[in-house]
Amino acid sequence: MSPEPPASVSTHILDTSAGHPAEGVTVHLSARQSRDAHWQALGGSTTDADGRCKDLPAVPEGTTHVRLDFEVEPYFGKPAFFPEVAVVFAVVPGEHYHVPLLLNPFGYSVYRGS
User: What is the count of structural domains for the chain?
Assistant: 1
The verdict on residue 113 lying in a domain is no
Q: What pLDDT score does 2 carry?
A: 62
Is residue 1 predicted with pLDDT exceeding 90?
A: no
The verdict on residue 20 lying in a domain is yes
The verdict on residue 1 lying in a domain is no
**22-74 pLDDT, tens digit each:** 999 999 999 999 999 999 999 999 999 999 998 999 999 999 999 999 999 99
* Three-state SS at 95: coil
The residue range of the domain holding 16 is: 8-107
Look up the CATH number of the domain holding residue 98: 2.60.40.180
The verdict on residue 48 lying in a domain is yes
Distance CA 110, CA 6 (A): 22
pTM of the entire predicted model = 0.93
Report the relative pairing of strands 96-98 and 8-10 from DSSP bridges. Answer: parallel
**70-114 pLDDT, tens digit each:** 999 999 999 989 999 999 999 999 999 999 999 999 999 999 998
**Positive/negative CA dihedral, 62, 4, 54, 78:** negative
